[in-house]
A and B are shown apart, each in its own frame.
Chain A
Amino acid sequence: MKTMGFADAIDDALAQAMVDDSRVVVFGEDVHGLRTGLFVRFGEKRVRPAPISEAAFVGAAVGAAMAGLRPVVEVMMVDFIGVAVDALLNHAAKVEAFSGGKWKVPMVVRAPCGGGYGDGGQHEQSLWGWLAHIPGLTVVVPSNPADAGGLMLSAIEHEGPVVYLEHKLLASNMLDFLGSGGRKTVQYDVPAEGTCGSVPDGWMPIPLGKAAILHEGKDITLVSVAVGVHRCLEASAILKKKRISAGVLDLRTVSPLDKEALCQAVSRSGRLLVVDEDYRDFGLSGELAAVVLEAGIPMRYGRVCTEETIPYCREFEHQILPSTGRIVDAAIKLMDR
């Protein structure tokens, strides 16, 4: 085991995949600058900077994957995926179904996501639930370096299209690039265990659709992804002092969803609190409730999500993003009922 940063772990696993399989290529906006190590090691043919043409280069990734490559295509931020949605919604996600299962699209769209550094509502969205809504898309959202590397390997090996989202509060290079810009005068609520941690000496794939129980709890189950997982862990520690045993489940992939792990945890605790940095309405939080209820498991339910456009102002932003304080309050409310 060794220690590695979140973003380094992704790049390291990606490098391993590139060594093992010459069909793996990387392209996207500024990849020579953002992935300097890969650019130097694998050369411009395999790590290729793209024009600001998301519709074209994400669309090209679909074609390239259909024709034999395994592209890892980078979009500067998940918000900018809006420009390329057609490629994902109507093409990447549909080819396998349209071809009767005979033709698959093994591509990864890698995009930074998430807020908490004051960049405004067009640059801090999460959108994992919105993307996972589309049948045919796999959506991966890791919360720590070890998962980030292992899941990247699985995403590349997967035969279908995967959206791989890296939260900017975890990927320190992105936070430095877009948030602090080298300033020592700004502070962010960065979860230490998420940004840096132990990783295996050689990367092994972590199966897609497998959640991780990070903390067992008998009174309530907190479920989240990415930074939300760390807020849940903090909340769980605070709740423990209040004699509430709160378990924490890290979904790791939003789609496919680990329904079994979710249902097992909730059937034990009888209470589900979803912590989702993505938008509340019509998204992941409602989906988790539906899954549990469809399984016939009685429960009390609550959610702490982003409910509106993310404000630029740091103070307002903090109020609307799921925070440890909001999670604790919501958990206590669920216990009282």
Chain B
Amino acid sequence: MGPDLWLLYRQMLRSRRFEEAVTDLWQKGRISGEMHLGIGEEAIAAGIVAHLQDGDAMALDHRGTPPLVMRGVDLSLILREFLGCADGICCGMGGHMHLFSREHLTASSGIVGSAGPIAAGFALAAQHLRPGNIAVAFFGDGAMNQGMLLESFNLAVAWKLPVLFVCKDNEWAIVTRSQHVTGGNLLERARSFGMPALEIDGADVEAVWNAAKQGVDRARKNNGPTFLLARCIRPEGHFLGYLPLRRSLESMIGMVGPIMHSLPARKGASPGERIASLGSITSLIGRTLTEKYSKRRDPIHHVRQRLRGEKARLNEIEKEVEKEIQQAVERALS
């Protein structure tokens, strides 16, 4: 049996609208510090979380809002946390990068790659205490160069742990292009540990759901871990307020100033090397802007196209989601 696309669409839309509300509050200064959104990753989260049952665990990275929203955590509690309230889901102690829900067996961390070992531990506990339950680790392609993550792949294979390793690959490692700092091929790398590795279009929620089903079934039957490589694009870049996306004169000066100052500075690299550096920076900015404005491979648009025949039903879901998010925001701010 295939996925219920309507349900998945609703989940993805909930996450998107929620994070749009978060963006608004962050811009208004109501939320402090960094803000890493999962906009663009909704199909990956939805296609995987749909398979989870009571007793399954999740280890999230610093971009963990979508899986939490879809797992059924109270939205206003998440928002209260972001607002720094003592009655937030982590009592105002964690914030968006350090979200925990014990009842959902879900933990997050801002240390890149740390979801791997934690998920392996969750899976080990499941093996002992909750046979048939599994753990999911969500991380980005940047984390694929972190030793602890690769070590946890080996651990999970060696101990046949019920883990689904989910790499959300947007081809960036913070603000560095992954290909410039990564050797080989990620799929082959995962396979070399002795686990099945599947590559999927992370904008296609049905593809994610189908691949996740294989991995989840395998884990539930105690056959060990699976690796999913889901390609995606995040239009907001690494985090909100990323310099090239600010659209202000001040930020332009902030970016161009050091370059203009350094380009002609006496002593240093050859003109050729300086031009090459300038070229790399220009290309990074270009890529960032393309991903922001091209609207290419938007997962929400992708699934909506599949469902567009039933306009009335789409409208109904969209209205319900708008209302849910609006009420959650109102509750959180009241």
Chain A residues at the B interface, C-beta cutoff of 8 Å: 15, 18-19, 29-30, 32-33, 36-47, 49-56, 76, 79-80, 82-83, 117-123, 176-183, 185-186, 309, 311-316
The binding surface of chain B is classed by DSSP as loop
A56 to chain B, nearest CB (A): 7
Say yes or no: B259 contacts A40, CB within 8 Å. yes
Residue B55 is within 8 A (CB to CB) of chain A in the complex: no
User: B109's closest neighbor in chain A, by CB?
Assistant: A122
Interface string of B240-255 (1 = CB under 8 A from A): 1111001010110011
Residue B142 is within 8 A (CB to CB) of chain A in the complex: yes
Within the assembled complex, what's the spacing in Å between the Cα atoms of A32 and B259?
11
Q: A82 — which chain B residues lie within 8 A by C-beta?
A: 111
Q: A313 — which chain B residues lie within 8 A by C-beta?
A: 84-86, 92-93, 95
Say yes or no: B268 contacts A41, CB within 8 Å. yes
Say yes or no: B92 contacts A185, CB within 8 Å. no
Say yes or no: B98 contacts A120, CB within 8 Å. yes
Say yes or no: A40 contacts B111, CB within 8 Å. no
- Residue tally, chain B, CB below 8 Å to A: 66
Q: A37-B261, A119-B34, A316-B93 are in contact. List 16 more A-B contacts (CB 8 A).
A: A42-B273, A44-B273, A44-B277, A44-B280, A55-B147, A83-B147, A117-B33, A118-B95, A121-B93, A122-B109, A123-B34, A123-B110, A181-B240, A309-B93, A312-B32, A316-B86
B198 to chain A, nearest CB (A): 23
A239 to chain B, nearest CB (A): 30
A-B contacts, 18 of them at CB < 8 A, read A19-B268, A39-B277, A40-B263, A40-B281, A41-B263, A42-B273, A44-B276, A45-B273, A46-B269, A49-B176, A56-B145, A80-B112, A123-B110, A182-B241, A312-B98, A313-B86, A314-B32, A315-B84
Say yes or no: B33 contacts A119, CB within 8 Å. yes
Say yes or no: B92 contacts A312, CB within 8 Å. yes
Q: B97 — which chain A residues lie within 8 A by C-beta?
A: 119-120, 122-123
User: A173's closest neighbor in chain B, by CB?
Assistant: B254
Q: Sort A-B residue pairs by CB-CB distance and give the 3 closest, nearest first.
A: A181-B241, A118-B32, A185-B29
Residue B94 is within 8 A (CB to CB) of chain A in the complex: yes
Say yes or no: A37 contacts B262, CB within 8 Å. yes
Which residues of chain B from 131 to 163 have a CB within 8 Å of any chain A CB?
A: 142-143, 145-148
Residue B2 is within 8 A (CB to CB) of chain A in the complex: no
User: B180's closest neighbor in chain A, by CB?
Assistant: A49
Which residues of chain B from 259 to 278 have a CB within 8 Å of any chain A CB?
A: 259, 261-263, 265, 267-270, 273-274, 276-278
Residue B182 is within 8 A (CB to CB) of chain A in the complex: yes
B269 to chain A, nearest CB (A): 3
Give the residue of B176, B239, B240, B246 whose beta carbon is less than 8 angstroms from that of A30.
B176
Which residues of chain B from 292 to 323 have a CB within 8 Å of any chain A CB?
A: none
Q: B173 — which chain A residues lie within 8 A by C-beta?
A: 29, 51-52
Say yes or no: B35 contacts A181, CB within 8 Å. yes
A164 to chain B, nearest CB (A): 20
